[in-house]
Amino acid sequence: MGTVWRVKLAEVDQQRATELRQLIQQQLNDDDLELSTWKTDSVLSRFNQYQGNQPQKISANMADIITLALRIGRKTDGAMDITVGPLVNLWGFGPGKSPVSPPNQAQIDRARAQTGLQHLQVIETVAGQYLQKDVPTLSVDLSTMGEGFATDHLARLMESEGINNYLVSVGGAVLTRGHNVGGAAWRVAIQKPTDRENAVQAVVDLQGHGISTSGSYRNYYEQNGQRVSHVIDPNSGRPVQHKLVSATVIATTALEADGWDTGLMVMGPDKAKALALKEKLAVYLIVKQEDGFSSWMSPQFNAFIRR
């Protein structure tokens, strides 16, 4: 998935660890082959290549992810939009080539015309789940939620293997359950918004929940002296420009946390705060100020903080 996975277990011997490593890698490979837009032969890429409006059969897993993505998309007024792929590619953050100069308005308008959550629907039938688009060139990009899904999936694998004390993580999504090797609750750090890794901003005890961060401070490039973020505002068709540098969400699943964090990141600090309070989400925001950074957390997030 273009990223790293990490599984920490409280008590397993070397042989068991080797067995589990194989199961984990196999499952992640399978998830990648289903959800990747970077692999042209993945299930999702085949749906994207299909240029028709007939319902296409998808797995229950993919139906769950897309159904949740559409729900969060509606709640964020379209800020979280899994059809945003053409714009992501246009700005050089997808599998396509990076642009040498910023795209012009006509290119942005053309890409935007191929996006929109209203053009996509999941159909549940007794015979299974189907995905349908009414714009032939519409494509689905699950980059923003795939890591959360894969993290939950690893947690389910641990449970099915009879393991109850674990920390699982894919990319920026993490889920913990039980305790670490020292018998203490797992603690997860939120990084400071710098290019330097491992500077700690806050520490949380997830208590069986998932956490995910969306940020504009790592995945970006500079063009004409301006930072170009990989988070795209589907409304303008351009990378976000406001002062919110990261949004961290804790939710009952890593998938849900991973969906909300991008939506909030697109919305900017004021709208993100208002939505977090309205939806009673556990949210931690870091905002760029003239002389450094400020942070804000919702009451629900405060309950997870360890001081």
Q: Write out the residues near ligand FAD by the rule CB under 6 A.
A: 1-3, 32, 35-36, 38, 79-82, 84, 88, 93, 141-144, 146-147, 171-172, 214, 219, 230-232, 234, 258, 262, 265-266
Q: Which residue is nearest to ligand FAD (CB)?
A: 146
Give me the least distance between CB of 260 and ligand FAD, in Å please.
10
* 288 in Cβ contact with 245 (< 8 Å): yes
Taking the least distance from each CB to ligand FAD, the nearer of 63 and 79 is 79
Give me the least distance between CB of 230 and ligand FAD, in Å please.
4
Give me the least distance between CB of 1 and ligand FAD, in Å please.
4
* 138 in Cβ contact with 130 (< 8 Å): no
Give me the least distance between CB of 18 and ligand FAD, in Å please.
25
Give me the least distance between CB of 61 and ligand FAD, in Å please.
12
Residue 35, both tokens: 């959800």
Taking the least distance from each CB to ligand FAD, the nearer of 1 and 167 is 1
Amino acid at 216: S
Taking the least distance from each CB to ligand FAD, the nearer of 80 and 283 is 80
* 12 in Cβ contact with 20 (< 8 Å): yes
Which own/partner contact pairs does 159-166 have at CB distance under 8 Å and 24+ positions apart?
161/20, 161/23, 163/9, 163/12, 165/9, 165/10, 165/11, 166/7, 166/8, 166/9, 166/10
Taking the least distance from each CB to ligand FAD, the nearer of 36 and 176 is 36
Residue with tokens 């549940």: 124
Other C-beta atoms closer than 10 Å to the C-beta of 205 total: 16
Taking the least distance from each CB to ligand FAD, the nearer of 9 and 117 is 117
CB-facing half-sphere around the CA of 192: CA atoms within 13 A = 11
Give me the least distance between CB of 162 and ligand FAD, in Å please.
27
Taking the least distance from each CB to ligand FAD, the nearer of 9 and 259 is 259
